[in-house]
Chain A
């Protein structure tokens, strides 16, 4: 699962026709290599006064460390805006942000939970992500992993089998997943929690610091 980050631009002057976001990634502390990795996206014109423009960009789970020989889950995002204004184009200064992660855990002492996601979004709820959670003891090659739930067409069969397999795991169940964000940026977060077997007990909710809520309701605010 990847994640999403919203970038926004507000026109400070008249005559701006279009704005493009240019961005790249590097290892922590690194500089952008625009020859190897250069992404560019036109911003969506949302109108208003002053005119606002935005784009939700897809973010990686990590970048490749050629010296270390593996994936680095933390990295650096580099970006600038290209602005077309009054028949000319100009660029903003390069900005860089450290992207860091946190491993999230939900401890289920009773074994009641059958489905669980972290529901989260950076800055506000306009670029949300559902990250399926799993107890690391659950077999990764099973057809009933959390990530396989969505494309599993017989949901009743899945929920039955998942609950039976979870019942074999000693309590408590440690549901885990990972989230990312620019360092210090607010991350809004809930747990989307489900008890989907047996059918007569089906229950789901979005859990925040004040208890059950609706999606985007009561939530924690984290800073990674």
Chain B
């Protein structure tokens, strides 16, 4: 049963679409988008919309719209995203041809050589987007250490003793989502919680601010 009407139930991620005005006088740019299983055409009756707002004044002006997308469609991480731009102003209204892209995931891995952390998260952005997403990484050998789609309070459950019981080396694996063939930038959120020595710690390992890049 759906609880909220019109929004995605379950985990999501943000994907930004950028538009450059080809001529002056444009008053409205809107992204229309819909997703579905591989091999099926778009059902525009279920479309979502996002208005593109000014990104920089240019010239030419650029606008950006953040699309909110599910991490799972019918339980699968691979699916199709269809989108087009609707543009109005300057005496015309038009919809650009629809573009179809493949959404997929990549695994990211954190090796905790010193067995120091109880929880590891992955913070990531897709393409040029500044809109960050978050995934929980699971520790190999500890099935209940987290869910890769989780972003809730379970993220920081102190499970120090359980983690210490896992034979080293400790390897955490998480997933990031994006458009196939396009880059994703990610960093790690490292947490040590519930330590009996009281030396809990939390830090962000972002490769000196640059993050790490991979291609979906």
Contacts and interface: CB of A to CB of B under 8 A. Distances in A.
B70 to A, nearest CB: 12
Given A34-B152, A42-B123, A130 B51 contact: yes
Contact of A214 (B27, B49, B68, B200): B27
B51 A58 contact: no
Interface stretch (A59-67, A101-109, A162-170, A181-189): A59-67
Question: Which of B48, B93, B200 is the most central at the interface, judged by chain A CB atoms within 10 Å of its CB?
Answer: B93
A71 B5 contact: yes
A202 interface: yes
B4 A60 contact: yes
A38 B133 CA distance: 15
B202 A150 contact: no
A64 B51 contact: no
B66 A60 contact: no
Interface of B: 1-8, 14, 27-28, 30, 32, 44-45, 47-51, 53, 66, 68, 84, 86, 88-89, 91, 93-95, 98, 123, 130-134, 151-153, 156, 189, 200-204
A84 interface: yes
15 contacts: A17-B204, A20-B134, A34-B152, A40-B151, A40-B152, A44-B132, A62-B4, A88-B200, A128-B51, A130-B28, A150-B47, A150-B95, A151-B98, A155-B95, A194-B93
Interface string A178-206: 00000000000000101010000010101
A59 to B, nearest CB: 7
B28 A64 contact: no
A55 B132 CA distance: 10
Q: Which 3 A-B pairs have the closest CB atoms?
A: A60-B4, A151-B44, A40-B151
A224 B142 CA distance: 50
B5 A151 contact: no
Given A61-B5, A130-B30, A215-B28, A88 B202 contact: yes
A207 to B, nearest CB: 12
B51 A18 contact: no
Contacts of A60: 4-7
Contact of B204 (A18, A44, A206): A18
Contact of A63 (B5, B47, B66, B94): B5
A1 interface: yes
Interface in A38-58: 38, 40-45, 55-56, 58
A114 to B, nearest CB: 11
Given A18-B123, A22-B153, A60-B7, 12 more contacts: A2-B7, A36-B3, A37-B4, A43-B132, A71-B5, A84-B204, A128-B53, A150-B95, A151-B32, A153-B95, A192-B88, A206-B27
Interface of A: 1-2, 4, 17-18, 20, 22, 25, 34, 36-38, 40-45, 55-56, 58-64, 71, 84, 87-89, 115, 125-126, 128-130, 148, 150-153, 155, 192, 194, 196, 202, 204, 206, 214-215
B40 to A, nearest CB: 16
Contact of A64 (B3, B27, B131): B3
Contacts of A115: 93
B4 A129 contact: no
A1 B152 contact: no
Given A60-B4, A84-B202, A129 B51 contact: yes
A87 B203 contact: yes
A115 B92 CA distance: 13
A196 B32 CA distance: 21
Contacts of A61: 5-6
Contacts of A89: 156, 202
Contacts of B156: 89
Nearest to A55: B131
Chain A CB within 10 A, most for which of B2, B4, B30:
B4
Nearest to B51: A128
